[in-house]
């Protein structure tokens, strides 16, 4: 006769085999049933980030955000977005066109949750503004003497059809310094001897870029002031926006402090 322990062992093995086949067929059946649903809903799920980003691109409110997100403007062609967040899983997108009207700054770049999208910047016709100084080969510039924070200054420049001035040569610096020295009535400012320009290191501390996303070295002007022990020094740990000193050279300042500021309208043809 077969011993009781042997029979119990055999029964357990048979039960394990039956459980294995039962689980295998159940799982296979469930997978077969769920696969059509998966294939239907996967494209919808993957399209959600794209739709969210595109909706945010259409929002002009982004220009006032504390993360200095930019909004797009009119363009003739679309180009891909490049991840500025060290590939944190944000998908690369291609915008069919840039569709708001937020000045020349928007024609170049839009930054949305760590992504940068570049739109073509072509020469544009504008009506000549009497409050801008036009310098052949350099551009049109204006010094606003009433103080504003960095984001408010950007918004004002955009509304005038330009952007916060980006200095790309010593010749352009001389143009701005001439405007600065002739200015009168500077008011509501933290320091009368400084004016905001279009640079910041808000994306990464110490990595200074223009509001169009270009490094200062690539842009061609890297003249920092040697005042106060040399700049930039991130005084107080909160100086992430750039200014031009009346004596020349750049300084880092708080983005929330109010300063005079330079606007520019680059690459233009005067429309009569």
Q: What domains, with CATH codes, occur in the chain?
A: 60-118 (no CATH), 124-271 (3.10.100.10)
Report pLDDT for 42: 57
Q: Of 269, 28, 23, whose CA–CA distance to 127 is shortest? A: 269
On the 0-12 / 13-18 / 19+ scale of CB atoms within 10 A, 38 is exposed
Query: Cβ distance 85 to 180 under 8 Å?
Result: no
Q: Give the separation between CA 128 and CA 149, rounded to whole angstroms.
A: 26
Report pLDDT for 39: 63
Report pLDDT for 38: 58
Q: Of 51, 170, 154, 151, whose CA–CA distance to 108 is shortest? A: 154
Per-residue pLDDT tens listing for the chain (272 residues): 545 566 676 777 777 787 777 777 777 777 777 767 756 665 565 544 444 434 433 433 343 333 333 333 333 333 333 333 333 333 333 333 343 344 445 544 444 444 444 444 444 445 678 899 999 989 999 999 999 999 999 999 999 999 999 999 999 999 999 999 999 999 999 999 999 999 999 999 999 999 999 999 999 999 999 887 788 988 878 899 999 999 999 999 999 999 999 999 976 544 44
Report pLDDT for 234: 85
56: tokens are 């945010």
**CA count, 13 A, side-chain hemisphere, 33:** 6
């Amino acid at each position: 006769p077969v011993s009781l322990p042997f029979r119990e062992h055999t029964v357990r093995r048979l039960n394990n085999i039956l459980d294995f086949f039962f689980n295998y067929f159940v799982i296979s059946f469930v997978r077969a049933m769920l696969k059509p649903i998966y294939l239907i809903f996967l494209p919808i799920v993957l399209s959600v980030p794209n739709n969210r980003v595109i909706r945010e691109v259409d929002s002009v409110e982004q220009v006032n955000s504390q993360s200095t997100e930019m909004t797009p403007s009119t363009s003739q062609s679309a180009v891909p977005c490049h991840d500025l967040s060290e590939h944190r899983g944000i998908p690369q997108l291609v915008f069919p066109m840039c569709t708001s009207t937020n000045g020349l700054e928007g024609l170049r770049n839009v930054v949305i949750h760590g992504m940068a999208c570049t739109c073509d910047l072509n020469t544009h016709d504008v009506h000549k503004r009497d409050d801008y100084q036009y310098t052949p080969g350099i551009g049109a510039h204006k010094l606003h003497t009433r103080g504003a924070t960095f984001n408010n200054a950007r918004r004002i420049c955009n509304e005038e059809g330009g952007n916060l001035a980006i200095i790309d040569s010593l010749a352009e610096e001389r143009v701005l310094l001439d405007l600065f020295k002739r200015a009168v009535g500077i008011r509501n400012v933290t320091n009368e001897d400084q004016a905001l320009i279009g640079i910041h290191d808000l994306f990464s501390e110490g990595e200074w870029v223009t509001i169009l996303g270009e490094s200062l070295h690539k842009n061609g002007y890297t003249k920092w002031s040697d005042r106060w022990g040399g700049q930039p020094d991130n005084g107080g740990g909160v100086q992430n926006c750039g200014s031009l000193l009346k004596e020349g050279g750049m300084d880092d300042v708080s983005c929330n402090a109010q300063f005079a500021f330079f606007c520019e309208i680059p690459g233009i043809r005067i429309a009569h």
